[in-house]
Amino acid sequence: MSYDALRHFADSWGLVFMGLSYLLLIGWHFRPGAQSRSSDAATMIFTDSDTQGGDHG
């Protein structure tokens, strides 16, 4: 595959693939039932790690 062919592929189908991936990932966040997981992820850093059962000694 030559450089020109690879560049043509990236300029056309690569851009389409990246755009669709972006829309899919944004849409995944707003799907029904995602609010609780997003809330858990947003507050995860505030949980006490000692209650997770790990012995950090």
Q: What is the pLDDT of residue 57?
A: 47
Residues 18-34: b if buried by 16+ CB within 10 A, e if exposed = eeeeeeeeeeeeeeeee
Q: What is the pLDDT of residue 33?
A: 85
Q: Give the global pTM.
A: 0.55
Please check whether residue 37 is in contact with residue 28, taking contact to mean a CB–CB distance below 8 angstroms: no
Q: Is the pLDDT of residue 48 over 70?
A: yes
- Residue 52's pLDDT band (cuts 50, 70, 90): low
Report pLDDT digits (tens) over 12-30: 898 999 999 999 999 988 8
Q: What is the pLDDT of residue 10?
A: 85
